[in-house]
């Protein structure tokens, strides 16, 4: 099993390279085989023993780096997917990586929804001040594009950039959505 080559290939791309679903089991079997082979050698200082020890050490190091690199890619994709509906699921994951990805995506999505729900409640619970009474209807949106700074009907100054998630008065939400500059985010209450 050439783990060093798998690591080299994984470093070349931002996407996951395709690995067999049971890749990590195969790698474990490979390492166990090397350990058994090493244990059968009487002279631990022989050239043969040194070669096997070096291969085992190299395999462990390459596998550890490969796991770390692949998990970083999985985390990055799960974070992007949790905040956007346009990101596709990753391909080429092993069974273990699919479990990590699904669990991470679920946790991040749930966490974002909880945070956004707190933002909405915080903004709707504040009484409006000033002469204009626009009611307390607010909604959350995710910006699809940046918009110039503007002063809202509630007197607040808004500077919004692409991919921002914000809570705005409903009138601004409607205008931004009608102009395809934002998409409303539904938050369970």
Domain boundaries, given as residue ranges, for the chain: 3-112, 126-185
- Top CATH class of 3-112 equals mainly alpha
Predicted structure pTM score:
0.60
The pLDDT of 137-146, averaged and rounded, is 88
Q: Alpha-carbon distance 175 to 172, whole Å? A: 5
For residues 57, 62, 64, 68, the Cα torsion angle rounded to the nearest 10 degrees is 160
The pLDDT of 149-164, averaged and rounded, is 84
Query: Are the C-beta atoms of 128 and 134 separated by less than 8 Å?
Result: yes
- DSSP letter assigned to residue 126: S
Number of CB atoms found within 10 A of residue 112's CB: 16
Q: Alpha-carbon distance 141 to 147, whole Å? A: 13
Q: How does pLDDT run across 16-37, given as a tens digit for each residue? A: 999 999 999 999 999 999 999 9
pLDDT at 135: 47
- Strands of the sheet containing 182-185, edge to edge, are 165-169, 138-143, 182-185
CA angle 103, 71, 87 (to 5 degrees): 65
Domain 126-185 classified CATH 3.30.465.10? no
In 8-155, beta strands by DSSP E:
138-143, 147-151
pLDDT confidence band for 151 (50 / 70 / 90): confident
- pLDDT averaged over the chain? 85
pLDDT at 154: 77
pLDDT confidence band for 130 (50 / 70 / 90): very low
Q: How does pLDDT run across 31-86, given as a tens digit for each residue? A: 999 999 999 999 999 999 999 999 999 999 999 999 999 999 999 988 888 777 55
CA angle 137, 139, 141 (to 5 degrees): 160
Q: How does pLDDT run across 85-129, given as a tens digit for each residue? A: 555 767 889 999 999 988 888 888 888 777 877 776 655 544 444
């Amino acid at each position: 099993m050439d783990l060093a080559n798998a690591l080299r290939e994984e470093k070349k791309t931002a996407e996951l390279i395709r690995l067999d679903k049971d890749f990590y089991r195969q790698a474990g079997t490979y390492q166990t085989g090397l350990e058994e082979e090493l244990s059968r050698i009487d002279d631990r200082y022989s050239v043969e023993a040194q070669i096997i020890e070096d291969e085992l050490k190299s395999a462990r190091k390459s596998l550890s780096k490969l796991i770390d690199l692949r998990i970083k890619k999985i985390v990055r994709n799960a974070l992007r997917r949790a905040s956007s509906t346009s990101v596709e699921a990753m391909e080429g994951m092993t069974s273990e990586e699919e479990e990590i990805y699904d669990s991470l995506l679920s946790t991040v999505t749930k966490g974002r929804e909880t945070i956004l729900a707190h933002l909405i409640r915080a903004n709707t619970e504040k009484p409006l001040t000033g002469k204009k009474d626009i009611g307390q209807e607010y909604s959350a949106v995710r910006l699809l594009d940046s918009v110039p700074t503007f002063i809202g009907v509630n007197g607040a100054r808004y500077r919004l950039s692409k991919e921002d998630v914000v809570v705005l008065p409903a009138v601004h939400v409607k205008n931004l959505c009608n102009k395809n500059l934002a998409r409303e985010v539904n938050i369970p209450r």
